[in-house]
Structure formats: structure tokens, C-alpha cells
Amino acid sequence: MLKQSIKIIEDMQYPSGLFAASNPNVKTGYNLSWIRDNVYTLIGLESAQKYNLVRKTLRALLEILLKHENKIDWAIKEKPKHAYQYIHARYNPNSMEEIWESWGNKQNDAIGALLFKIGDLEENGIKIIRNENDLRIIQKLVNYLESIEYWHDKDNGMWEENEEIHASSIGACVAGLKKIRKIVHVKNELIKIGQEELNKLLPRESETKEVDLALLSLIYPYNITTKEQRNLILKNVEDKLLRDKGVLRYLGDQYYFRNGEAQWTMGLPWLAIIYKKLNMPDKYAFYSRKTLEAMNERGELPELYYADSNEHNENCPLAWSQALFVASLEE
């Protein structure tokens, strides 16, 4: 199953190195590439020691940012006032052009995730940065987070929805800045103020969401919660969002709503990884079994199942979910 899942993920990679969010042939828009989804897809490939694929993808993401460097310069010069002025979250995987469509485009966590993964890999001896151009654009990403004042910037968050201050977005940026400061210059204050604002929000995700699947990112991969914060997040997610075929993103989620909120499969291997790292084998086994039960007959993990149903949507497989499954076996 591990080999099969790795093959499923590899089949979603374009020649550019970027991954589609789902099957490259789907008609839902998930044939496109998101910065965040690519970073989470790499978590699985890194766990499987597919380092050449990991390098290719991260360098492709750096190429995208270099291609749009002028836009980043403008955002550093003056804090963006409109969503289109932010670094875009989604690209054509062949041309690397922005997708100009109305979208929840303000996704600060995507930049934090990218900085985190580059810093993390470099720290572990896996070279991603090629030259001065890469170093320059990485430094500009740090300056960009300072310009947008990420610690209290209302963004669309991991789920690309209403603009709020999201704990998961602040946390991603804090984690990214901590990891990348060994490579480029990061002001201590830039991390400190983010950590303070994060602690004020937790264990909530935002003003409107008490509990959210996105909060798991603060435990894994970012590992920036206290033990108390971690335990509260896990308790809330398991008590309020866990379902038979997946985990709700949050209570009241209207995306693919059909007699109830959709069940997202990524939550199951995500919880498995966390409990494996916490050395809780019974919980790890429980979520591993639930992940296998959520797979279709081809061994694929779809984006989601409809509420109280064995029917999944057309975004199948979801690269993010499949990658977390690989990581849950390999981590």
C-alpha cells in the first residue's frame, strides 16, 4: 500500500515539478497547483526519502516566486490593500502563471509553510537552495510577512474562506520564520509578536471558529504548541469534528454540504502521525485503521466523503491526504 500510494502521488506531478491538488484530469480546478498543497504533498515524499522529487518541487515553487518577484517587491514597499496584491496561492502548473479567478487568495499560511519546509530540509542536510537568487527571494518572503503584518492580518486561511485572523496562519508563519532564520535574516521581534498573538488566540482557530482541523498543523508539522495547547486542540478536534470517514474542517462547514458537513480524509492520517509522534500506539493504530477504511477500491484517499455516507466527491485522490498517509507509515 505504501508503494501504491507513492505511485499515486507521483502520477499527480507535472513536468515542471509542481503537483496538482488532485488528479490532473479533474474538471474541478484541482488540476492546478497550490503552494500549500505542494508543501504538504512533499511531507509524504520526504518521509519516503524521495529527495529528488522534493528538491524539484520546492525549486519549482521558488521559480514561481522569482517569476513574480516584482509583485512581492511592491507588497514589501507598501502593505497590500487588496487581495490581488498578495502573493497568489494558486498557479498554472505548466506556465507558472497566477490563476486570475475570484478566490480566497490571501493565504499567509502558504508562505509560512514554504519557509518552514525549506528551512527544515536544509537543517537536515537536504539542499534546496541553489544560488543567490533563491536566497534573495527567501529573504523577500520574510520581508513580505513583515510588511503584511502577518500576526494580525486577516487572511482567507487554509480553507480559502472568509477573511479573519487565523491561528493556523499565524502559527505557520511563526514556524516558518523560526526555521528559516538560520539561512536569512529574521528579526527576533517578528517571531516574538507572532507567538504572542498566537497564544492569545489558542486553542481557538479564529473569532468565528472555536475548533478547526487546520489547528492540527500547529502540532504537526510545525510543533509550536505548548503541551496544554496541543492537548486542548486534540480533544476539541476528536470530540467535535471526528466522524466515521474523516474529520470535519469545522462545525457548520458548507463546502460539499449534503445533510451535514463533509468528512475530510486528510484528518485521519494527520491524527495518526501526531499520535505516533506522541508514542501512543493504540491511538496511532486506531487512526491508521480508519485511514485504510476511508480509501476507495483503488487505494486512493479522496478529498472528502459526504456526511454519513460512503460516497466521496470527484477530487480523488487528494495529494495532501495521500501524502499524509505515506508520512503516517514512514514517520
Q: Is the dihedral of CA 157, 124, 228, 240 positive or negative?
A: positive
Type and span of the H or E element at 1:
none
Question: What values do phi and psi take at 310, rounded to 5?
Answer: -100, 10
pLDDT at 331: 67
Which pLDDT tens digits describe the chain residue by residue (331 residues)? 899 999 999 999 999 999 999 999 999 999 999 999 999 999 999 999 999 999 999 999 999 999 999 999 999 999 999 999 999 999 999 999 998 877 788 999 999 999 999 999 999 999 999 999 999 999 999 999 999 999 999 999 999 999 999 999 999 999 999 999 999 999 999 999 999 999 999 999 999 999 999 999 999 999 999 999 999 999 999 999 999 999 999 999 999 999 999 999 999 999 999 999 999 999 999 999 999 999 999 999 999 999 999 999 999 999 999 999 999 998 6
Half-sphere exposure of 12 (CA within 13 A, CB side): 30
Domain boundaries 2-330, corresponding CATH code: 1.50.10.10
What is the CB neighbour count within 10 angstroms for residue 220? 21
Question: What values do phi and psi take at 135, rounded to 5?
Answer: -60, -40
Domain limits, the chain: 2-330
pLDDT at 234: 98
pLDDT at 171: 98
**How far is the CA of 117 from the CAs of 17, 33, 56, 253, 285, in angstroms?**
16, 17, 13, 29, 27
Q: Which of 241, 283, 285 is CA-nearest to residue 263?
A: 241
